[in-house]
Amino acid sequence: MAAVMDLQASAPLPPGLGEEQLAFRRAARDFALAELAPHAARWDAEAIFPREAIARAGELGFCGLYVDEAAGGSGLSRLDATIVFEELAALDPSTAAFISIHNMATWMLTRYAAPALRAAWGRGLASGAQLASYCLTEPGAGSDAASLKTRAVRDGDGYVIDGTKAFISGAGATDVLVVMARTGGEGARGISAFAVPADLPGIAYGRKEEKLGWNSQPTRGVAFEGVRVPAGHRLGEEGEGFRIAMKGLDGGRLNIAACSLGAAQGALDAARRYLGERRQFGRKLAEFQALRFKLADMATQLVAARQMVHTAARKLDAGSADATVWCAMAKRFATDAGFSICNDALQLHGGYGYIREYPVERLLRDCRVRQILEGTNEIMRVIVARHLLDTEEELR
């Protein structure tokens, strides 16, 4: 009962959005209520990857939201995508997050692949019939991604890839890996990007990690040993891989921020309902001013985070020069706020918030990792501070 949350109390459509966005929001909400909400708690408890449900999301265009229509996608804006991800995540933050990562990897492949590769993979990925994983992180290269060691050596008309990736979402259950590997010297300029079929000889997957949250999607390490890929599977030119990875992460950070908004909205709705139902000392909890003020602060924090995410999305859609720093600020602020709101919602539930009959403990667990992935929030602060200080230098 409590696992299926009523989203009719979701926040009103923020200013500056129109009827099309309202339609996307309604479609995503209806899908989440029908396809995610009834199963999310079981998928979490049993660590089930709901590939069939993701494929049905693809039928609605949710697996290629901002992929060009010519490549088989929906051709929507980044702002439209944040609205969809928020609604999906309000009921199942884990599955919504995988769909968001798949969108990022699919966009990277369709945006930077040669025409033949785009034709081979684009429509399958954008439709959800095939799924993609993003392979940047390594055991020794997390926040310092430019120090990655996986190497792709030119060999005739292709490349041979050797190395290891870590914490890869969907690994072992997806069809293509977007892999960053070193083709040149040290540093960011020596990195290239490749689309690698996930079943090629020489690819091995580690054990499925046991995680605090995000249990409806598998996370594994991936080892590459003598993996041969044609040169036509390179994305962009040699040495452009790190730039491509960072371009993908601008959108990926927005996606993860939007998923945090969704989890926070779901938690806020659950807390509001609980305060209206639970009685203590002969009164509904909603009648206690301290708890009413806490709910008001949670709602205010959520609205502020949503406005920042939407502003960053508009910046990215417009190709603004400062889009990257806005995406970093939005990711930092929204993921911190999202976890805080989920934590406050659990506190308002008291002991009931800590048990699985109520959804807030799952929302809290699924929300926590967002402060780490797609660049930790400490790295987001580095990006923002660098922008501020570089701008100051330019003004002198």
The residues, ordered by sequence, that sit 6+ positions from 102 with a Cβ below 8 Å of its Cβ are 54, 63, 125, 128, 131, 132, 133, 170, 174
* Three-class DSSP category at 41: helix
pLDDT at 295 exceeding the cut of 90: yes
* Integer Cα distance of 179 and 205 in angstroms: 14
The percent of residues above 90 in pLDDT, for the chain, comes to 93
Quick one: average pLDDT of 159-184? 98
| Range 24-38 average pLDDT | 97
pLDDT of residue 15: 67
Q: Is 374 a catalytic residue?
A: yes
Percent of the chain topping pLDDT 70: 95
Reported confidence tier of residue 84, pLDDT bands at 50, 70, 90: very high
Domain residue spans of the chain: 7-127, 132-239, 242-395
Question: Distance between CA 156 and CA 153 in Å, rounded?
Answer: 10
Q: What is the pLDDT of residues 207-259, one digit of tens each?
A: 999 999 999 999 999 999 999 999 999 999 999 999 999 999 999 999 999 99
CATH number of 7-127: 1.10.540.10
What superfamily in CATH does domain 242-395 come from?
A: Butyryl-CoA Dehydrogenase, subunit A, domain 3 (1.20.140.10)
Q: State the average pLDDT over residues 91-117.
A: 98
Say which of 374, 378, 392, 394 is annotated catalytic: 374
Q: What is the CATH number of domain 132-239?
A: 2.40.110.10
Using pLDDT thresholds of 50, 70 and 90, give the confidence band for residue 3: very low
Instruction: Give the length of the chain.
Output: 396
| Residue-level pLDDT at 39 | 98
92 vs 36, 219, 362, CA distance in Å? 6, 17, 9
DSSP string, 248-299: HHHHHHHHHHHHHHHHHHHHHHHHHHHHHH-EETTEEGGG-HHHHHHHHHHH
pLDDT per residue as tens digits for the range 322-381: 999 999 999 999 999 999 999 999 999 999 999 999 999 999 999 999 999 999 999 999
For 82-108, give the DSSP string: HHHHHHHHTT-HHHHHHHHHHHHHHHH
φ and ψ at residue 276, rounded to 5 degrees: -80, -15
∠ CA 25-29-31 to the nearest 5 degrees?
A: 120
**Of 184, 201, 137, 132, residue with least CA distance to 164:** 137
Q: What is the pLDDT at residue 390?
A: 85
Q: Are 283 and 291 in contact (CB under 8 A)?
A: no
Query: Do 132-239 and 242-395 have matching folds?
Result: no
Q: Could you give the CA distance from residue 35 to residue 33 in angstroms, rounded to a whole number?
A: 6
Does position 183 have pLDDT exceeding 80, yes or no?
yes
Q: Each residue of 113-158: pLDDT tens digit?
A: 999 999 999 999 999 999 999 999 999 998 999 999 999 999 999 9
pLDDT at 290 over 90: yes
Over residues 87-91, mean pLDDT: 98
